[in-house]
A and B are shown apart, each in its own frame.
Chain A
Amino acid sequence: AQSVTQLGSHVSVSEGALVLLRCNYSSSVPPYLFWYVQYPNQGLQLLLKYTTGATLVKGINGFEAEFKKSETSFHLTKPSAHMSDAAEYFCAVSEGSGYSTLTFGKGTMLLVSP
């Protein structure tokens, strides 16, 4: 069985500060990992994904994440927060190719203050 833990239901940063959203996963097979963003009253938008290969993955809007197998982590970072980054962020895991069910964490709400 696979699972995702997102540490912190809310994270507050100032505009221009570093954003760090934490995600730890559990998977019995090499995982595929994803970060999605959800703005109020909208669906999920894919930020970035890790499948195989390079462990540092770059996504849209200046976000990146690093897959660390030894720590079973896939933390999301952005060097400088912007007001438009305020949203809810979900980490998700999928166990390999083919049967592409996603298991999501409970989400982290990112609050950005001026």
Chain B
Amino acid sequence: ETGVTQSPTHLIKTRGQQVTLRCSSQSGHNTVSWYQQALGQGPQFIFQYYREEENGRGNFPPRFSGLQFPNYSSELNVNALELDDSALYLCASSPGQDNTQYFGPGTRLTVL
């Protein structure tokens, strides 16, 4: 069984640019959540998708947006990058109504 995968592993962007991060959920999981983990902090919830619809959103500005596709994979898009967006971005999938979330290895984003 393949776990949650994320791409790319690392990414370097400059302020003002846009970035797209990708996530493939674990087989059989229809819910995907995205988290931002700044250095030395716990993960912070960005948003969640359930069956291609946004199912909840944390305290992040609208320049953070996402998509979920029919195969339950997902994208996180960030526009107008700021220095503070530098972080590890984690994707987690869960099997619908089950609260247990399984995390991918993350994408390390550096904004210069």
Contact = CB atoms under 8 A, between A and B. Distances in A.
A86 B39 CA distance: 18
Interface residues of B, number: 29
Nearest to B94: A100
Contact of A100 (B4, B33, B44, B108): B33
B45 A101 contact: yes
A94 to B, nearest CB: 5
Contacts of B90: 43-44
Interface in B95-110: 97-106, 108
Contact of B42 (A96, A101, A104): A104
Contact of B101 (A51, A96, A102, A105): A102
Interface residues of A, number: 27
Contacts of B18: none
A47 to B, nearest CB: 12
Given A100-B31, A102-B35, A107-B41, 9 more contacts: A4-B42, A42-B105, A43-B105, A90-B42, A100-B33, A100-B98, A101-B45, A104-B43, A107-B40
Interface of A: 4, 32, 34, 36, 41-46, 49, 51, 90, 92, 94, 96-107
11 contacts: A42-B106, A43-B105, A46-B101, A97-B97, A100-B31, A100-B33, A100-B48, A100-B97, A101-B58, A102-B33, A104-B35
